[in-house]
Structures are given as C-alpha cells and as structure tokens.
Amino acid sequence: MKLYWNRGDYDWQPERYKYSVEQMMLTLFPGERPEYPEEPAGAGEDWARFAVTPGEKWVTVTAQVAREGRQAQGCARFPREKLDEPAEKVYHTVQHGLKMAFYRAGVTLLGQEPPWGALTGVRPVKLPTRAMLAGATPRQAQRELERDFRVSPVRASLAVDCAKASLAVDRDLRDDQVSVYIGVPFCPTRCAYCSFVSADVGRTLKLVGPYLEGVLREIAVTGESLRRAGKTVHSLYVGGGTPTTLSASQLSQLLEAVHRDLPVEHCVEYTVEAGRPDTIDREKLMALREAGIGRISINPQTLENPVLQAIGRRHSAQDILDAYALAREVGFDSINMDLIAGLPRDSFEGFCRSLNGVLALEPENITVHTLALKKGSRLMEQGGALPSGEETARMLDYSLERLSGKGYLPYYLYRQKYMSGSLENVGWCLSGQESVYNIVMMEELQTVVSIGGGGVTKLVDRAAGTIVRQPNPKYPHDYLAALDRVLAQKEELAACFLPTHN
C-alpha cells in the first residue's frame, strides 16, 4: 500500500509516525506492505493519505484510504490546546488520532471490526494494567479498551483478566530479584512455521558440545555479577529451540552449573521447555527431576497426524500422549502444553479435537497460540494452504469457551505481526498454576538476564521507567565466535546494568 502525507501549513513531522501507521495497516490489511513513493498512486492501486489540520478549537486528523477499487475516509479530532502540551504528550495524541482515523476508514472498507479493534503492539495487557494501577476498577479498565480502542468486549475482558494476574505477581516482586533465561537453540528438525533461531541438530551436532561449554562459562560469569549486585534469581526458564535435544548427561551438566553458579537460593520456579516428544525419554526426565525442575512444557501444537506431518514434525499424536504419561509417571506435577490455531492442513474440527484431547489430559497450563507467518519460516517462503482468518478466529473463540468452561484462567497474552486474523496468544492455567516467568517476561515487570545464543537481556529499571536491551548473538556459531565479548558484557552487569534502588 502506498502511503502519503499531507503536510499543509502545520509541521506535524509525519515521518515520526511511520511505524504507528504501518502497524495499523498490518492490523487492517495483513497482506499489505508499506511504500512511500514520490509519484501519485495509479488507477486501481491501493493507497492511504494522512493529514493533521489544526483549527481554531479542534485539530482534525484525516485518513483517506483506497483499496481494491473502493475509497473511504476516516476522521478523528482532539482539542487544539493539546498541541501546547509537552512534546511527548503531543506525539501520543497525534499518534492516536492517526491510528483511529486510519482505523475508521479501513473498517468502512472491510465491513467489520478486528477483534482487537485499533489496538496494535505486542503487549495489550499493559493498558488495563496501567489503568488499574491508576485507580480504575477492572470494569472501568475494560470499558476504556472498548471505548478508546474499539476492542471487542470478549478481548477486552481477556486483557483485563491477564492484567489482574500481572498485578498479583507484581505485588510480590522485589528490587533485588531478576529472572534468568537460558537458550538452547537446537532442534531435531525445524518446524515449517518457525523463524526462531534454532539449528537442526542433525546438521550441527559438532557445535552442541562447544556451545554447552560456552553457556557454562556465561552462567559462571553471570552468577558472579549477580551476586556482586546483590541480586537473586526469582524464576528461571530454559528454552530454545528444544533444550531436551541435549543428552541426559548434558542436561545434568547444565543444571548443575545453574545451582552451583547462579544465586538461585530463593528461586520460586524452574521451567525447562521439553517441547517435542521425539526428544523426551525417561533418562532425560529423571535428570530434570533430580536437578529440581518443577515445570516442563510438552508441546503438541496439534494432535492431528496430517497436520504434524505438514509442519515437519517427525512424531505422531500418540508419541505426544506417551511423553505426557511418562512425565507424569516420573513425577512432574506442573506441565504446560502448547497448541497453535491456524496451522496448514488443519480445520476448525481438527483444532477442536486437538484441544479436547489436551483437555482430557488435564495439564496445569495450556497455551493457545495463533499462527504468525514470520520472516524466515518455511511457510512464509514457500507458502501453502492455511485456514482462513475467519476459521482461525472460530478456533480461538472455541478455545476461550472450552478452557473457561473447564476451569482454566487466562494469565498472560501477547500479539505478533502477521498473525492470522489479527488475534492473540494466550496462556491459560488452573487456579494457582500461573507461570511467574511468563508474566514477568511478557509484561516486562522485572529484569530478565538471558544466557546463550539468541537471548535478549532486558534490564528493567522500574524507578526510572526504562528498559535496556542487550542481545546475545543469534546463531550458535556466532555466539561461540563472540563469546569473549558476551562474557565481558556479563561481567559489567553488576556495575552498569543492574542498579539497586532503595
């Protein structure tokens, strides 16, 4: 879609708002990509034109949109005196006006409103959380989402429920706590939908040993820095990739280093993402239990065998059930299971069968993802038939109804670009079974120190209201090549990145 700015007499610095306009475009028209040409749009081309026009009492924001041979205009306005507020407030006021004007024009063309309305961004829960911290009741926070952003009542209620879970965890957090993520970016094979940094272990087997040694060194240096800073580990998550791609002895080696070198004396939650059943066996599960791991993920994504085949999984639905039974037998009493709505070759009926099959197992956590077509994934590069956005929305609506009916509570959610139907990912749990790490990570309530390839440390300063990102190299080979620099950064954590506020 070609995007144009009407500058007029008022210099509203339209370039500052490119990102916001592009996000709204992706929400309304997921298949479009932004262009900023000098020449006018040709006949039949899709385009949008934006203007901000101050009047005597009101500032009018307009969006004219042409798509598939039809045109519509959307407007928003705000009091003129708001232009006299501090620059940051002016920016957010104009930003909201542009998004709402674009939204209204787009909805006129589409004939329907997206479930999340005009709300863009990864973390919609932050809005009701902020509102309730400022004194709003949950109902008032929900109405604000519905009124100001046109969020549907169902999604607004979902966001508020997750905000309540976030606030409950936040009340117990202390300034001397951090969470830790350890990345193991290896998988037995790469799934068709995946763009995460993970290496097919069959091709990179020679890197696994050296990579683990590098991670052990980073754990040791990180532990020293955290202790110098007076920090303790609040929750720890080992993800990937598929950490159980490692052997049982390698898992033991990794987790022994965690207990030896990190300040985990008061850690309330240890999670390992076992993930794929073709990497799970009794010996590995025993190694995890003996190392004190209390929570694992076993992620079916689907229980439909044709869909498993279509996404590149080399196991069956029965393998998933067997791995789950084995984990229970070994003694795990906190298990998460992931499902994905919108997978290739899946259908509404197939998704319902998968969800009901997982519900029959009664795991403590169920996370329902919406398929997102990500750059670098095989699905994005090669294409293929997928359920429609409408069918995927039916899957999500069914999951809301069934999970709520079975006593599961939503406790965290997030959204992504290029997500089918502009929907969401939601973590559900039985009462009292929330994952602390998932909440603090997604809502950015606490510093998360990331160890290993592909991880991003987020240094959260609650007093200053700032977040500093510190990424590690993505790929195992690059991580090993840059290990000295990575270790030097971790040595600086105590002095530079983790100030203690009294």
Q: How far apart (Å, rounded) are the C-alpha atoms in residues 473 and 155?
A: 36
Q: Residue 230 — φ and ψ, nearest 5°?
A: 75, 30
* Residue 157 in this model has a pLDDT that exceeds 90: yes
Conformation bin of residue 20: beta by default, left when phi > 0, alpha when psi is -120 to 50: alpha
What pLDDT digit, counting tens, does each position of 487-499 carry?
999 999 887 654 4
Token pair belonging to 57: 């009492």
* Residue 338 in this model has a pLDDT that exceeds 80: yes
Return the percent helix, strand and coil in the chain, to nearest 5. 45, 20, 35
Place of tokens 């060194």: 217
Write down the pLDDT at residue 195. Answer: 65
**Beta-sheet pairing, 365-370 with 335-341:** parallel
Place of tokens 């440390």: 457
Among 479, 464, 490, 481, which residue's Cα sits nearest to residue 241? 479
- Quickly name the fold that domain 1-112 has: Double Stranded RNA Binding Domain (3.30.160)
Write down the pLDDT at residue 502. Answer: 39
Q: How far apart (Å, rounded) are the C-alpha atoms in residues 103 and 117?
A: 8
What pLDDT digit, counting tens, does each position of 59-73 carry?
999 999 999 999 999
* Residue 199 in this model has a pLDDT that exceeds 80: no
pTM above 0.85, yes or no: yes
* Residue 501 in this model has a pLDDT that exceeds 90: no
* Residue 137 in this model has a pLDDT that exceeds 80: yes
Q: Do 59 and 77 form a contact (C-beta atoms < 8 A)?
A: yes
Q: What DSSP character marks residue 206?
A: H
Q: With cut-offs at 50, 70 and 90, classify the pLDDT of residue 463.
A: confident
Q: Do domains 1-112 and 300-331+339-432 have the same CATH topology?
A: no
Three-class secondary structure of residue 297 per DSSP: strand
Write down the pLDDT at residue 11. Answer: 86
Q: Which of 13-17, 357-361, 369-373 has the lowest mean pLDDT?
A: 369-373
Q: How far apart (Å, rounded) are the C-alpha atoms in residues 472 and 117?
A: 35
For residue 496, give Cα distances in angstroms to 182, 217, 458. Answer: 21, 20, 13
Q: How far apart (Å, rounded) are the C-alpha atoms in residues 491 and 447?
A: 16
Strand partners of residue 369: 340
**Helix segments in 426-473, DSSP class H:** 436-442
- Quickly name the fold that domain 300-331+339-432 has: Transcription Regulator spoIIAA (3.30.750)
Calculate the average pLDDT of the chain. Answer: 93
Boundaries of every domain in the chain? 1-112, 115-171, 300-331+339-432
What pLDDT digit, counting tens, does each position of 315-337 carry?
999 999 999 999 999 999 999 99
Write down the pLDDT at residue 498. Answer: 45
Strand partners of residue 488: none
Q: Do 32 and 22 form a contact (C-beta atoms < 8 A)?
A: no
> What is the per-residue DSSP string for 477-495?
HHHHHTHHHHHHHHHTIII
